[in-house]
Amino acid sequence: QMLGSLAHEMKTPMTSIMGYADSLLHVNLREEQRARALSHIHEECGRLGRLGSKLMSLLGMYDNDSIQMEEVALQEVFDRVVRAEEAHLREKGVTLRQSCEMGVRRMDRDLFESLLINLIDNGIKASREGGVIELSASGEQITVQDHGCGIPEQEIARVTEAFYMVDKARSRREGGSGLGLALCERIAWLHEAKLRIESVVGEGTTVRIVFYKTFTS
């Protein structure tokens, strides 16, 4: 499970790094665009370097102090997640819209970004070209909603099990391992939240991260 988790979590940063590197190599960018691409590559490489020890701690395999809970402005997290997903969204022809009415929360920034990226990745995979995904936050919950293929009702209760895949053929074709939502649930638990999943086949899926209590700094 640890190896699968590491491989799963490396995919999105590596895709983002490769996309920006490809632009630097093959596209005539303005100087500010080059600086932005290099900054993003540096940022994602740093996150990759930190994720290994954080996941080991999260999965109870190693007792370390790599998980750092701090007060973070959620809008900053949203902005970083949107940047990380730009290449994947562009490749699949899907639009991501965001709305954040939540202020500061206490979190491990790297792990919480991974939670949101996993949910958005699932939405992208489920969406058709031209589809829209909404990332929003208000009150005590964060919502990721797609309008894609949806999940059969009898499968919803099992999608957070490690290695469980609803559409095994599609998941393997797209490099999935079935670990995404299992990790999401674990990360949500760490942040005193739980996942609520609602889905209708042919209409889409809504995943809510619901916090147990109001945060006060």
Q: What tens digit of pLDDT does each residue of 69-94 get?
A: 999 999 999 999 998 888 889 889 99
CA dist 107 and 96 (Å) reads 23
pLDDT computed for residue 178 by the predictor? 40
Q: Provide the sign of the torsion angle of the four alpha carbons 10, 165, 59, 4, taken in this order.
A: negative
Of all residues in the chain, what percent carry a pLDDT higher than 70?
A: 81
Q: Helices then strands (H, E): number in the chain?
A: 6, 7
What single string gives the DSSP state of each residue in 128-192? PTT-EEEEEEETTEEEEE--SS---GGGGGGTTSTT--SSHHHHHHTT--S-HHHHHHHHHHHTT
Residue 7: predicted pLDDT: 66
4 vs 139, more confident: 139
User: What does the buried/exposed string (b/e) look like for 18-54 if buried means 16 or more CB atoms within 10 Å of the residue's CB?
Assistant: ebbeebeeeeeeeeeeeeebeebbebbeebbebbbeb
Residue with more model confidence, 43 or 212 = 212
Residue found by looking up tokens 């490809």 in the block:
22
Q: Residue 2 — pLDDT band, cuts 50, 70, 90?
A: low
DSSP state of 27: S
Q: Residue 105's beta-bridge partner residues?
A: 72
**Cα 47 from Cα 41, distance rounded (Å):** 10
pLDDT 10s digits, 141-194: 999 999 999 998 888 888 877 655 555 444 444 444 345 788 888 889 989 999
Please give the residue that has the higher pLDDT: either 196 or 160. Answer: 196
